[in-house]
Structure 1
Amino acid sequence: MNSGADLLRIEDLSISFAMLGGQLDAVRKASLRVLPGKVTALVGESGSGKSVISQAVMGILPKSATCSGRILFCDPATQERPADLLAMPRDGREIRNLRGNRIGKIFQEPMTSLSPLHTIGNQISESLKIHTDMSGRERRERTEEMLGLVGFSKPARAFDMYPFELSGGMRQRAMIAMALICNPSLLIADEPTTALDVTIQAQILQLLRGLQTKLNMAMLLITHDLGVVANVADEVVVIYHGEIMEAGPVEAIFRRPSHPYLKGLMAAVPHFDMKPGERLKALREVPVNTSNLLGKNKIVAADEALKPEILLSVRNVSKTFTTRKSNWLAKETAPATKAVDGVSFDIMRGECLGLVGESGCGKTTLSKILMRAITPDEGAIMLDSSDGPIDVLKADGPGLQALRTKMQMVFQDPVSSLSPRMTVQNILSEPLEIHGRGSGKSRLETVKALLKAIGLNERHLNRYPHSFSGGQRQRIGIARALALGPDLLICDEPVSALDVSVQAQILNLLKDLQKELGLTYLFISHNLAVVDYMADRIAVMCGGRIVEIAPRETLMEAPVHPYTKSLLAAVPFPDLDRPLNFSMLNPSGASDKRSWGKQFSDDGDVGVLTTADLGNGHLVLARKTADVRELVS
């Protein structure tokens, strides 16, 4: 292939880092290309070298990195011949002229990539100040135009806002505006949708695809989400441990994958067409051994004829937060936000109830109320534990101590939820010490049994969390939650920060533990495919209220509420024959009640909505006057 036809061509790139224990080879003889006006997706797990390659292209590798090979960039707007980016001085004039000007980059985490001390407009217009001769007024006009292009409804207002005032999706849009402000010929997007809700992810993908076509811009898309790749990419490059395993057009890669690693990645992704009982095929399975665990003896063979027993009953739980007044001298009261609004549901013993919804819908607030981390304004929560019923909201003293052993939580972020100063042995034995379980010797045996249950062994006992991978840290978090033999496990986005292959490991582990220990789960996620794999029933939450609840098959095949339909329509399938239907997406967001229709909207009238029973455990929030047949049709 002729290098002149490629906008970016990487040839035999090797990158290594000098470490205390020797040299770490992050990338080995990697070769790939990005064609003008096309999207090349670079796919692989965390640690495979994707982001390091993008740093090499931008010339922002750390000084400890050693590189060889060539990175040829030929920008038709400014160059006649390809320039080798690796041969340019690291902070020289040449690379600085390209960086942020002809090559833009969207970083993975918008909160840490934006300065908290500067306004959005200030940060976006900085590239114009460096690379153009525009006046201050022209820079502001161009920045506001770009903010409007990426989806800000009031660009002039957004220009003067700070990052903390924006939601995750809006921060990501600001990052995209910053990368595109100088009309680059190449955009590097490093996991641009990883931390976003499925509906916002679909909007960002639509935005990137539209801008890429409109500006005739090439894109190097770095991701581990094969659904995103199938909907956006023209060419796909698969990388594993720094080596390119497979590369080609998206059609060939998805329809005829040849490398075992790529086939393994595809089999690890949960999707809606899975048969009942079908398992995800993790690249590296986790052996489960629960023989010595607490709670093992609680399992009783369930009689199919018996009515399912309610483990947790939640009735009319509400929580309102009051925001701080901008001026403490002002007499008006600060506006209140109803985070949880009259929520009621039951969780049956031994089942997994999935709770889905966009960020800010009240999922995590509800989980904290269940765990007694937040006190609700009103409502009742009853737990029918193995030692008798417990009133969750009234428990105190010894009763609260007992409740803590019956309900445990697996947190979203495995890094911040484990103490960096404690070894694995200390982390897992801490719950046993707090609740006075056993002697020092028996606690050690329990800790060893917990490690076996999650697929780790005794040699990991004295290691600290930082020396484990993200998936291993999440398994340690699960082991800690199991230490006291709880009846109910609340899993708050337990796999959202993990690769698809590691995600498959954790999901299979949770399923195996549920079967072996008779556990009950409340599984909170914004990934509907993950919830579909894990849950028996699914509750959909929007604006602090549960708008629909139904058995998994019913909800996936015949959703009734417009919000549920919007969520399902926004899930990207790793299948070329089922592309995202961007016309189905609501431009103002799935939670915009104006698009729901009069049957489901309250128009601000309190008490207008009620829970309609559609039969077989399918409930939907609708107007009291709405006919059930009308809703289903």
Structure 2
Amino acid sequence: MSSGSDLLRIENLKISFSLLGGQLDAVKDASLRVLPGKVTALVGESGSGKSVISQSVMGILPKTATATGKILFNDPETDAEPIDINSLPKDGPQIRALRGARIGKIFQEPMTSLSPLHTIGDQISETLRIHINMSKSERRDRSEEMLGLVGFPNPRRAFDMYPFELSGGMRQRAMIAMALVCKPALLIADEPTTALDVTIQAQILELLLELQSKFNMAMLLITHDLGVVANIADEVVVIYHGQIMEAGEVEPIFRRPGHPYLKGLMAAVPHFDMKPGERLKALREIPVNAGHLLGKEAASNENASDVVLTVRDIIKSYGTRKSGMFDREVSAPVRAVDGVSFDIKRGECLGLVGESGCGKTTVSKILMRAVTPDSGSVVYHGRDGEIDVLGASAERLRTLRTSIQMVFQDPVSSLSPRMTIQNILLEPLEIHQRGTPASRLETVAKLMEAIGLDKRYLNRYPHSFSGGQRQRIGIARALALGPDLLICDEPVSALDVSVQAQILNLLKDLQKDLGLTYLFISHNLAVVDYMADRIAVMCGGRIVELAPRTTLMRSPVHPYTKSLLAAVPFPDLDRPLDFAMLRSSGASDTSNWGNMFVSPDVDEPLQAKDLGDGHLVLARRNVDARELRL
């Protein structure tokens, strides 16, 4: 195919970085195309070279990078020959005229990509001021029109808002408005939905498809999520360590993947059709040896209670200041957690699922004594008796700290950059005065062996490890004291599917070898389906449905649970997302739930209805359980 029929054509692109130890080749002889009005997905793991290619197209490679090869952009609005972007001066007028006007870009993290000091409207209209000759009022009109197109219910109000006033999904919409306000021919979307909940992700994907059709725009979608690719891409390019492994139309590539790397990526994705006991096939398996760690002997203690943790009616409210930094007037408190109750049984994994802002992390902080609830009770059933978690002090609290540990969402910020891995793993042992200095070092070596990392790495710092390796170190630190219960707060949401498979398999192996109990918090139902024995679904601070995993996945009752399940994108061309159903269901919008699940009267509180076999659903008091099953 000639370059004249392609909107963007990359030929033999090589990108290398100058480092102290020599040269790093990030992209090696990459060639790909983007057709007018089509979506091309560039798929690969972190570090494969995807984002570097997008930076070269935008002409924003760092100064340490050297690029050779051709990046031909064929602007449909001009009759001129295709422009080789790679040959243009890095900050000259030609590349600046293209960047933002004819080629737009959506970045992965909207909070760090938007200026916190300027309003959304200022940032969108700035693009128009640079590229199009318009008056201030015309720029405002065009910006508000664009905000309306990307789904802001009140564009005039949104124009004057700051990024911190918006949710993650609305910030991403503002970013899309900024990228598209000049109506570019090509949109580069770099992991545009990675940081979002599945329901918000589905909304953003539908929005991108609508706008692409409206503006007849081409899109280069950079992602590691094969479910997203299956739902919106026309062509797929698979990249591994800077080399293109496979490229072509989405239909033949998904139905008959040729390269082992693509087959491996597909096998690493958790999905709802997995058989009991089936493992994810990680691209690189971790050798796990946890049999000799602390805790295995304790796990066989027959005197232990069947329930590890009992949580009853916990409530946590937050008040917000009405206006002004020094104004103490507080508005009506908002209940972040509203009467949550559940039990965690010994040896099981209880999944806690819900969208951002539903109260999942607040619950985990209450269980860890990092946040004090307004009311309610939390009882830990230890091997040496019961401990009141919220009232424990001194020695009882010290015992509790060794029994309940946490694995955090972000492996970068949860590890101190100033401590070596050895010091990080030694710290809990030293604080709780476990063993002698020599035995502590031996325990640290065993922990490294348990998570599949070489003991030689102990004197390194966290920055020298990948995201998946850092998360493994976080798991090792949580295991150091031999806990009964691990609270895992979104432990794989920041990871690629292949690394995610490694961590999930590691957690399963550790649970089996050490007799651990998990509270696994996530917004990804496919991941929770793989890990959990029972699942609690949370919305608006309340648990709306709780059931064994198979029951919840096959026969969900609550409308919110059904919406979450429908919003998970499958890497399967025969199971596309039903955008129309997702739009009508509205997920957390209670007006779409029906009369059985919403109480019209404050004096008629909702009740947890028992449908049998441990299946509970939050519904109105006067609704019969048989009606809910219909």
Do Structure 1 and Structure 2 share a fold, with TM-score over 0.5?
yes
Q: Tell me what 2:564 maps to.
A: 567
Question: Offset at 1:604?
Answer: 5.6
Q: Tell me what 1:585 maps to.
A: 582
Q: Which runs of 5+ in 1 are unaligned?
A: none
Contact 2:314 2:377 in 1 (8 A): yes
Supply the AA of the counterpart residue of 2:67.
C
Give the counterpart of 1:510 among 507, 515, 519.
Answer: 507
TM-score (norm 2): 0.98
Q: Please identify, of 182-191 and 379-388, the stretch whose mean Cα deviation from structure 2 is larger.
A: 379-388
Q: Tell me what 1:291 maps to.
A: 291
Deviations, residues 41-71 of structure 1 (Å, cap 9, x unaligned): 0000000000000000000001111111000
Q: Tell me what 2:339 maps to.
A: 342
1:95 aligned to 2:95?
yes
Q: Tell me what 1:246 maps to.
A: 246
Deviations, residues 342-376 of structure 1 (Å, cap 9, x unaligned): 00000000000000000000000000000000000
**Pairing of 1:8-87 with structure 2 (within 5 A):** 8-87=8-87
Q: Tell me what 2:5 maps to.
A: 5
Mapped to 2, the partners of 1:331 and 1:17 lie a distance apart of 53
**Pairing of 1:470-549 with structure 2 (within 5 A):** 470-549=467-546
Mapped to 2, the partners of 1:553 and 1:137 lie a distance apart of 57
Deviations, residues 289-345 of structure 1 (Å, cap 9, x unaligned): 11331101123298xxx9981111000000001112314787864231100000000
Supply the AA of the counterpart residue of 1:276.
P
Q: Tell me what 2:311 maps to.
A: 314
Supply the AA of the counterpart residue of 2:483.
P
Q: Tell me what 1:370 maps to.
A: 367
Shift in alpha-carbon separation, 1:134–1:280, aligned structure 2, 3 A: same
Mapped to 2, the partners of 1:28 and 1:333 lie a distance apart of 58
Deviations, residues 522-574 of structure 1 (Å, cap 9, x unaligned): 00000000000000000000000000000000000000000000101111000
Mapped to 1, the partners of 2:115 and 2:468 lie a distance apart of 30
Mapped to 1, the partners of 2:236 and 2:5 lie a distance apart of 18
Q: Tell me what 1:116 maps to.
A: 116
Q: Tell me what 1:619 maps to.
A: 616
Mapped to 2, the partners of 1:332 and 1:347 lie a distance apart of 40
Mapped to 1, the partners of 2:274 and 2:384 lie a distance apart of 37
Aligned with 2:583: secondary structure? coil
Shift in alpha-carbon separation, 1:252–1:511, aligned structure 2, 3 A: same
Deviations, residues 603-623 of structure 1 (Å, cap 9, x unaligned): 362542101000000000000
Contact 1:386 1:487 in 2 (8 A): no
Q: Please identify, of 367-376 and 378-387, the stretch whose mean Cα deviation from structure 2 is larger.
A: 378-387
Q: Tell me what 1:194 maps to.
A: 194
**Pairing of 1:275-286 with structure 2 (within 5 A):** 275-286=275-286
Deviations, residues 79-105 of structure 1 (Å, cap 9, x unaligned): 431110000000010000000000000
Shift in alpha-carbon separation, 1:419–1:330, aligned structure 2, 3 A: closer
Q: Percent identity?
A: 76
- How many residues in Structure 1 have an aligned counterpart in Structure 2? 630
TM-score (norm 1): 0.98
Shift in alpha-carbon separation, 1:328–1:112, aligned structure 2, 3 A: closer
Question: Offset at 1:386?
Answer: 2.0
Mapped to 1, the partners of 2:368 and 2:437 lie a distance apart of 28
Aligned with 1:565: secondary structure? helix
Aligned with 2:71: secondary structure? strand
Q: Tell me what 1:168 maps to.
A: 168
Question: Offset at 1:451?
Answer: 0.3
Give the counterpart of 1:432 among 429, 447, 450.
Answer: 429
Q: Tell me what 1:135 maps to.
A: 135
Aligned with 2:419: secondary structure? coil
Give the counterpart of 1:392 among 389, 394, 398.
Answer: 389
Mapped to 2, the partners of 1:443 and 1:599 lie a distance apart of 57
Q: Tell me what 1:180 maps to.
A: 180
Shift in alpha-carbon separation, 1:273–1:376, aligned structure 2, 3 A: same
Supply the AA of the counterpart residue of 2:76.
P
Q: Please identify, of 355-364 and 288-297, the stretch whose mean Cα deviation from structure 2 is larger.
A: 288-297
Aligned with 1:479: secondary structure? helix
Contact 1:566 1:586 in 2 (8 A): no
How much is the aligned-residue C-alpha RMSD, in angstroms? 1.4
Q: Tell me what 1:262 maps to.
A: 262
Question: Offset at 1:246?
Answer: 0.3
Supply the AA of the counterpart residue of 1:585.
L
**Pairing of 1:410-489 with structure 2 (within 5 A):** 410-489=407-486
Aligned with 1:251: secondary structure? helix
Q: Please identify, of 325-334 and 341-350, the stretch whose mean Cα deviation from structure 2 is larger.
A: 325-334
Supply the AA of the counterpart residue of 1:556.
M
Shift in alpha-carbon separation, 1:438–1:330, aligned structure 2, 3 A: closer
Mapped to 2, the partners of 1:520 and 1:437 lie a distance apart of 22
Mapped to 2, the partners of 1:472 and 1:313 lie a distance apart of 33
Mapped to 2, the partners of 1:328 and 1:246 lie a distance apart of 56
Mapped to 1, the partners of 2:326 and 2:43 lie a distance apart of 54
Aligned with 2:595: secondary structure? coil
1:557 aligned to 2:554?
yes
Mapped to 2, the partners of 1:403 and 1:589 lie a distance apart of 41
Contact 2:584 2:592 in 1 (8 A): no
Contact 1:292 1:446 in 2 (8 A): no
Mapped to 2, the partners of 1:604 and 1:147 lie a distance apart of 36
Contact 1:614 1:628 in 2 (8 A): yes
Mapped to 2, the partners of 1:11 and 1:368 lie a distance apart of 51
Deviations, residues 460-490 of structure 1 (Å, cap 9, x unaligned): 1100000000000000000000000000000
Supply the AA of the counterpart residue of 1:239.
I
Mapped to 2, the partners of 1:467 and 1:40 lie a distance apart of 33
Mapped to 1, the partners of 2:21 and 2:483 lie a distance apart of 42
Mapped to 1, the partners of 2:369 and 2:629 lie a distance apart of 37
Shift in alpha-carbon separation, 1:119–1:604, aligned structure 2, 3 A: farther
Deviations, residues 235-278 of structure 1 (Å, cap 9, x unaligned): 00000000000001000110000100000000000000000000
Mapped to 2, the partners of 1:214 and 1:256 lie a distance apart of 32
Mapped to 2, the partners of 1:116 and 1:153 lie a distance apart of 22
Contact 2:41 2:220 in 1 (8 A): yes
Mapped to 2, the partners of 1:474 and 1:292 lie a distance apart of 21
Mapped to 2, the partners of 1:330 and 1:524 lie a distance apart of 36
Q: Tell me what 2:148 maps to.
A: 148
Question: Offset at 1:76?
Answer: 1.0
Mapped to 2, the partners of 1:308 and 1:439 lie a distance apart of 31
Shift in alpha-carbon separation, 1:467–1:276, aligned structure 2, 3 A: same
Shift in alpha-carbon separation, 1:421–1:597, aligned structure 2, 3 A: same
Aligned with 2:75: secondary structure? coil
